[in-house]
Amino acid sequence: MCDVVSLKEINERDGFAAGDACLRRAADRLRATAADADILARLGGDELIAVFTGPGASATANHAAATLVGGSAPPLRAAAIVQKQGETCGETIDRLYAIVRRS
């Protein structure tokens, strides 16, 4: 999961077109970094997600998160986790939100 840092402030200061451009750049970065993801999606206002499955998914997700944080504008916060056995998708996403918001 990645989060576009300061999107609300960009929207308020520069307008929604500027905020939309930041989201598109972030989505392009995620698409390039996580090209082998099973799912790429926008979760909410400023959160994007890549879902990896299968052997090596954890390592691939961690590498993608580290690459996204080190990239160019817009600045992103990112985290990668493994879904726990018995955990619902909603619970996994809630854990991701908590981790990304702390970073």
Q: 81, 95 in Cβ contact below 8 A? A: yes
User: Model confidence over 27-75: pLDDT tens digits?
Assistant: 999 999 999 999 999 988 899 999 999 999 999 999 999 999 887 778 8
How far is the C-alpha of 79 from the C-alpha of 58, rounded, in Å? 11
pLDDT at 97 over 90: no
How far is the C-alpha of 37 from the C-alpha of 48, rounded, in Å? 12
Q: State the pLDDT at residue 45.
A: 85
Q: State the pLDDT at residue 39.
A: 94
Q: State the pLDDT at residue 61.
A: 94
Sheet arrangement for strand 47-51: 39-42, 47-51, 2-4, 76-78
For residue 25, name the pLDDT band (cuts at 50, 70, 90): very high
Is the Cα dihedral 14, 19, 20, 24 positive or negative?
A: positive
Q: State the pLDDT at residue 44.
A: 82
Q: What is the rounded average pLDDT of the residues 70-98?
A: 89
Domains and CATH numbers, the chain: 2-102 (3.30.70.270)
How far is the C-alpha of 68 from the C-alpha of 75, rounded, in Å? 9
